[in-house]
Chain A
C-alpha cells in the first residue's frame, strides 16, 4: 500500500514542465539543460563498468553542489545509483578539473571542497530520507539525510532526472512517502533481513523526524572521501574498491545559475557553509590546537547511529583541508522552516469537533509551534497548551471544570485572606512572603499598559495570585521570576482563577527552576552545555578555555524562558511555541544554542571572558530577532535529533519532575 504511494510520488516527482517556465531564459546553457529534461535522455546503463560486480542502475550528469550564495561557486558532478552484492549504493563524483569559475578567487576553495563532498559509495540503508524539491521556477534539487541526522548539501539537477532517480530507487529499495510531507521519501534498505527488522522498528521515529524536517531543512554534513578507512570494513571496503569506476567528466563551461533566485540559493549556501564549519571543526582536531574537536570526533565514533558513516564520511586523519581559524559567519549557519502565520479563528474552529474536543492535538501543537496563536485565541489555546484543560474535553466539561477550579481557588485564597493583622504579627514567613511579592509585582511589566499607572487593579490581582500560589504550593513558595511568568498569563486570561490554574500548571513543569538547591537550573545549564558541545564544538571549546562552562551567562534566559529578552508581544508568541513541546520539551535550550551561535563571531572574536560575556548576553535583551532565532533553533533541534535528546537527562525541566517520596520541592526550613 505504502509502496504504491511511493510509486505515485515517484511518478509525480518528475512531472515535466515547459522549459520556458524557468526564469533562466537568458542563459542558453540552462535552457539547453531544460530541454534535456523535457526530452528525458537520462542514461541508465546497467553493469557496463569495469567491475563486473557493479551494476549501475542510474546515472546523471551535472548534478551540482552550490558553495556560495550566488551560485558562483559550484561543483558539478555525476550522481549514480549502483548495485553491489544485492545492495544499493549512491555515489557522487565531482568532475575532474575546474568548473568555469575556478579561475576566480573562489576556484581555490572549490578545489578544496571537491574531495570533501565526494560520495564514494553510500549504502541506501544509511539514508533516512530524501527530500525532493521541485520549485516551479527554479532548479530541482534533493537533500539526502542520513540516519544519523546528518545531511549532504543539496544536489541540484541541472539536467533534470529527479523523477528517474526516485523511480529507480523504488525498484531497489523500500521508499515511503511521508504522511506529513509529500516531498519527503523515507528510505530503507530491506535487502538485509536484520536491517529490515531494525528499520521497521525504527519507522515511527523516522516518520516523526521526517515530519519535523518537512519543508526546507538544513542539516550538518560530514565530509566524504575517506580512503584511509576503507577496507577496514568488509562491505564498505568493497564498496570503496569500486569507487574508482566513475569516468571523469569533461567540464562544461558556463555553468548556469548565477541569476538563480538569491532567496533559494542563500539558503543552500548556508548549508554548505554549515557543512564547512562542521567539517572544519572536525579537522581542527588534527592540528592539536583544538582538543575539543577530538571529543566531537569521538562522539561521532561512539554514536551508534553514525557508526557506519564514520568509516565512510569522517576523515579526520586524511583531511587535506586546512584548519581555518574559527570563522564565524555573518550568515546564519543553519535555517529552519519559515515561520507560519498565527493560528486563526477559522483554523481553530476546524480543530474542534461539535462538542468542543480538540480532535488532533498534535496537529494543533504543530501549527502553534510554527506560527503561534492569534492573540484573541490565546485565552482559549493556552489553557490546553499549559495543561489546564484536557484536549479531549468537551465545552460542557470545561465549563464544569472551570467552575470547580474557581471554587477551589477561592478556598485557597481565603487561607491567607483570613489572616488577621494580629495573626500576621506572629507569622513571619507570611509577612516575608507577602513583602517579597509586594516588592516584585509593582516592578513587573509596568510599562505594559495593562499594568501601568498608580493603583492598578491588575497589579493587585498579580499579588493575590502569587500569594495564593505560595499557599497552594507552600514548599516552593514565591521566588523572584515567578511574577515574570504570571504577568503575561494574567494579561491573556483576564481572569484571576484561570490565571492561577494556568500558572500552577506551568509551575508543575518549571517549579524546579526555583528550587533552593538550584538543581533544576543546573540540570538545564548542563544540558545546554552538552548541546553546544554537540552542535558547535568550537564554541564549546572556547567556553571551556575561558571558564564559562557553567553557562551562568544564560541563567536568566533559562530561568524565566527569555522573558526579559523580548518584548511583551514577542514573549507571548515564544512561550506558546515552547509550550507546544512539539519538537522537544526542551526547545528553549535549542533556542539558547541558536542565539549563541548567532553571536559566536563576536563572542570568540572579542575574546569575551565570563564577565564580559554575561554583560554582553544581558545586553542582547531587545536585540534578538525572534523569528530567526526560532528558525535556527528548529533546524538545530532537527539536526541534533536523538543525539540532542540524549544530552538532556530525564526529569530536566520543563519535563514533568520525577516524583519522589519526599515531595516535589525539597526545601530547607528557612525558605521564604
Chain B
C-alpha cells in the first residue's frame, strides 16, 4: 500500500468532505479512492469512511476520509465528523448556484467551529458540464482567496483535478507540519502505520 520505500513515516490525516446535496462529495471520494465513477451515485446516509494513501516526494500521507450526508436536516451530525479534521474539502456544483451559497456557509462554519489549522479546499465539481455552469470560476476563485482556501474546479466524472486536490492538501499538510508548531496536534498525527488493520502484528 505504501508507495514509497520503507523508512519514511506514514502520516495520518483526517479529511472531511462537506457540501450540498448532490454536489458530488461521494463521487469525488470514489474517484480518488477507487478510481470509479457511477452516474447515479446513491445518496449518502449518515456518513461513509474511506482511507487512501498518497505519496508526496519521500513522504506518505494516509488520508482518513469522512464523506458526509449533504442534507441540511443532517447538519447536527456534521461536527462529529469535522471535529479534529486536518483538512476539509468543501464541495459545490458549478451548475447549481445554491450549492455555492451552501458551500460558503460550510466555510463559515468551519472557520467558526473548526480547528484554525484545518486546511480547507474549495472544489467546484461537475466541471465537465460547462454548458450548464451557474457559478463563474472567477467568482469562486475570488471567494477562495479572500478566505484563505485553495480552489480547484473538479470533475469526478472525467477525473479532472480530483487527485490534484488531494495531492495539494497532502503537500500543504506536510508543509504545515514543518512550519507550524508540531504541538498544534490536530494537523497531523504521527501514529504507527496501519494502526487499525492487522494490528496484531504490532512489534512495539
Interface residues of A (CB under 8 A from B): 432, 435-436, 439-440, 442-444, 446, 479-481, 483-484, 514, 516-518, 552, 555-556, 559-560, 564, 605-609, 611-612, 614-615, 618, 670-672
* A616 and chain B: residue at smallest CB distance: B49
Supposing A436-B21, A606-B199 touch, asked if A480 and B71 sit within 8 A by C-beta, the answer is: yes
Residues of A within 8 A of B197 (CB): 606, 612
What string of 1s and 0s marks CB contacts (under 8 Å) between B37-80 and chain A? 00011110111111100000000000010100111111011001
Interface residues of B (CB under 8 A from A): 21-22, 40-43, 45-51, 64, 66, 69-74, 76-77, 80, 98, 196-200
Residues of A within 8 A of B41 (CB): 443
10 nearest A-B pairs in the assembled complex, by CB-CB distance: A555-B46, A439-B22, A443-B40, A615-B49, A556-B45, A612-B196, A446-B40, A480-B71, A556-B46, A614-B49
Residues of A within 8 A of B49 (CB): 611-612, 614-615, 618
B76 touches A516 (CB 8 A): yes
- Closest approach, in angstroms, between the C-beta of A466 and any C-beta of chain B? 13
**Which residue, B22, B41, B64, has most C-beta atoms of chain A within 10 A?**
B22
Residues of B within 8 A of A479 (CB): 71, 73
B72: contacting residue among A435, A439, A670, CB under 8 A:
A670
Residues of A within 8 A of B199 (CB): 606-607
In the assembly, what is the distance between CA of A436 and CA of B98, in Å? 11
A559: contacting residue among B21, B45, B76, B200, CB under 8 A:
B45
In the assembly, what is the distance between CA of A517 and CA of B197, in Å? 35
Residues of A within 8 A of B21 (CB): 436, 439-440, 480
In the assembly, what is the distance between CA of A606 and CA of B77, in Å? 27
In the assembly, what is the distance between CA of A552 and CA of B46, in Å? 8
B43 touches A443 (CB 8 A): yes
In the assembly, what is the distance between CA of A605 and CA of B198, in Å? 9
B43: contacting residue among A480, A607, A608, A615, CB under 8 A:
A480
B42: contacting residue among A436, A564, A614, CB under 8 A:
A564
In the assembly, what is the distance between CA of A517 and CA of B42, in Å? 24
- Closest approach, in angstroms, between the C-beta of B72 and any C-beta of chain A? 6
Residues of A within 8 A of B46 (CB): 552, 555-556, 559
- Closest approach, in angstroms, between the C-beta of A366 and any C-beta of chain B? 31
B48 touches A618 (CB 8 A): yes
- Closest approach, in angstroms, between the C-beta of B74 and any C-beta of chain A? 7
In the assembly, what is the distance between CA of A320 and CA of B77, in Å? 47
B51 touches A615 (CB 8 A): yes
A606 touches B196 (CB 8 A): yes
Residues of A within 8 A of B22 (CB): 439-440
Residues of B within 8 A of A516 (CB): 73, 76
* A559 and chain B: residue at smallest CB distance: B45
Residues of A within 8 A of B48 (CB): 614-615, 618
Residues of B within 8 A of A517 (CB): 76
In the assembly, what is the distance between CA of A517 and CA of B199, in Å? 37
A480 touches B40 (CB 8 A): no
Residues of A within 8 A of B74 (CB): 480
A518 touches B77 (CB 8 A): yes
B45 touches A555 (CB 8 A): yes
B71: contacting residue among A436, A606, A611, A618, CB under 8 A:
A436
A672 touches B45 (CB 8 A): no
* B199 and chain A: residue at smallest CB distance: A607
- Closest approach, in angstroms, between the C-beta of B174 and any C-beta of chain A? 22
**Which residue, A514, A556, A609, has most C-beta atoms of chain B within 10 A?**
A556
Supposing A442-B40, A480-B21 touch, asked if A611 and B196 sit within 8 A by C-beta, the answer is: yes
Q: List 9 contacting pairs A-B, 8 Å CB cutoff, sorted by A.
A: A435-B98, A436-B71, A442-B40, A444-B42, A518-B76, A555-B47, A556-B46, A611-B64, A614-B49
